[in-house]
Structure 1
Amino acid sequence: MTIFSSCDRSAGNSSTDSFAPATAESKINVAYGNDSAQRLDIYLPAGRTSATKVLVLIHGGGWAGGDKNEFASVIPTLQKQLPGYAIVNVNYRLANQFGNHFPTQENDIKEALRFVLGNTKDYRISKDIIILGTSAGAHLALLQAYKNTDVVKPKAVISFFGPTDMAEMYNRQTNSYYQFAIGLLVGGTPAKVPEAYAKVSPINFVTPQSVPTLLFHGGRDGMVPASQSKNLKAKLDKLSVPSELVIYPREGHGWWGATRDDSFKKIVAFLKKHVG
Structure 2
Amino acid sequence: MTNMWTLLLLPFFAMLQVHYAWCWSPQDRVLLRDIQTITLYADRYTNARRSAPVPQLKCIGGNAGCHAMVPQVVQCHNRGWDGLDVQWECRVDMDNSYRFGKVEVSCEGFDFPEDPYVLRGSCGLEYTLELTEEGRKRTQDGYRSAGFGSGYFQSNSQSWDSKTDGSSAIVLIFIVILAYGVYKLFLSGPSVQQHPRPDEYGYDHQSQTHSSAPPPGFKSDFTGFSSGYGTGHVNQGPGFWTGLGTGGVLGYLFGNRRAQPYQSPYFNTWTGPSHSESMHQNDRPPQSSGVRTASGFGGTKRR
Higher strand share: 2
Query: Larger relative contact order (C-alpha < 8 A, sep ≥ 6)?
Result: 2
* TM-score in terms of structure 1 length: 0.22
* TM-score in terms of structure 2 length: 0.21
Higher helix share: 2
